[in-house]
Structure 1
Amino acid sequence: MSHQTGIRANEQLAKVFGKAKNGKFRVIKVSIENEQLSCGATAETKKDWERDYDKLIGPLLEKDVPCYILYRLDAKIPLGYSWLLISWTPDTASIRQKMVYASTKATLKTEFGSAYITEELHATTLDECTLEGYRRHKQDFAAPAPLTSREEELKELRKTEVHTEINTNTRHQTLGGINCPLSEATVAAVQEMVRGKHDYLQFRIDLEEEQIHVSRAAKVELADLPKQVPEDHARYHLFLFRHTHEGDYFESYVFVYSMPGYSCSVRERMMYSSCKAPFLDELAALGVEVVKKLEIDSGSELTEAFLQDELHPKKILHRPAFAKPKGPPNRGAKRLTRPTAED
């Protein structure tokens, strides 16, 4: 899975990039702040690139905070100097930070100029960011096969996987989903819904705690269901849809993921998208059999007709017979021919 976050370089960083291509800087630190690529620090050339490497890069790295480091090598290319891009993603960083930085890397390269970046290094430990670590990387990945931009993004996302022991009884946990824990109140509300106390639950993700909370538990009529969907934040909804179809009575659990477009922050969109599948597994473990999963932009979509069509799609019982198209209207009468003696 690979997604662009929509994060772009701010005006200050764009000016720094322009000066860097003229050889003014040796190193540039780039961080993601307020959903923008920002310049964290710069340093000018002191000696040659090997002597400058450890002195300039080491002080820029924070133990638990990811960042990008653009380091100018002394090799010349047709456009100017070649640059090394270091993606610093420590193992102690949160999964959310790893996802955002991995998904924004392609945008950073485009903003700076992909042609200038001739080498890349993905580092998770401080030792890998040293000159010795860079040389080991060069030896291990000498002459790599060329990759498309899509392949590069997938490779970067795989590097940020959470590594666990793998055997016949374990599964590898990757960034396919983030398992946010459920609060005690959330578990209790789901259990009460199974027992029949509620027919509607609304859930929110606390982005700081990375935990799922129940924000509303009530008896809600179908006509009032659209009013429950916020217009400025993403939410999960669980609704017990009581209805009849072709004379039969049904009670169906419907899971709704509401995302009101780009009015939500990048972090909120990514968290709700990534937590959905693990959250559905948690609901199943609590005894909720979700019959239908829906994604909507607005609460106005949740009408009875919409839910009926989603749960009971109309079937085409008889296909219409093929109708031969009529000929052109002015072609005249059909010609009749008499059989000849030879016939």
Structure 2
Amino acid sequence: MSHQTGITASEDLRNFFATSKDGSIRLMKIGIDNEELVLLDKSEPRSSWEEDYDAQVLPHLDEKQPCYIFYRMDSTDNSDQYEWIYLSWSPDFASVKHKMLFAATRATLKREFGGGQVKWEIFGTVKEDLSLSGFRKHVEAHDAPAPLTFEEEELAMIKSTEVKADIGVDTKHQTLSGVAFPIEDDALHKIMELGQGEITYVQLSVDLENEKICLEAAEDLAVSALPSRVPADHARYHLFKFKHTHEGDYLQSIIFIYSMPGYKCSVKERMLYSSCKSPVIEMVEQLGLQVDRKLEIDSGEELSEAYLYDELHPKKNIAKQAFAKPKGPAGRGPKRMTKPRAENGE
């Protein structure tokens, strides 16, 4: 099993997982201590899961300390196992180091718990995100139809022809927004360096065989050199800090670029890059970086300075349309010529 940080569940936590899914536990709070995932607290059901929710979840959300919470619903799946909500708490006032550590360990904990029993997975930075109201909004947003890109339509078509398999603790997991592969530590560190202004460019790839996100390049790059970094035969994810001025303000905008050179890539490569895109963006944002624009391209030639600027600051058409004299009725025939009247009767 591949892990994102090397942090795994303690023996006590594994034993607790094995005995706590029979309905006797409503909530379990998990943290990281001495490079191990440990049980911090637990609570029993008092009423229905909806009535218990805010009273049990919200008091466990510390304003400066990230944590994970597994919250048991009253519903069961087809195998009569209880369904759980997996909450990831990363408050704005937590240290960058803690945010990075918890974000990189989230997928590992889900595997340790058993991803097949997780019905919903939610990430939050403020308590409203993880409240019962926030949970319901998350469900509504998930159920709402959305337009699909070509890659997403292709993925949906492929998935519709596949036979579903049981999910074990060692399998990569399908999230609500895509497939979340583990991200290598050096890639995480370079993303953090970009956020802190030490570099301006990070390139990531999907290791198709080992199913993980890898670092391909990281450097302080001028915008004029950006097109040359886009491969012509493989898909990639790019993070670029675009330094520019707009209306007198100096800005450093982070742009996420998904490059896919069409059918030069295999079906598997197109499918996995399309499916991993959203979880990668989510991971970047969990590390504290604000992605100001998301772009999809098929060639690096598109990435000019003017193109990036226009994508960040679209031009507003405020010019008023000039008055157009209406045309005369059709079928009037040729315009009649008149002879000018001579002066003095001549």
Class of the TM-score when normalised by the shorter of the 2 chains: 0.3 to 0.5
Question: TM-score under structure 2 normalisation?
Answer: 0.46
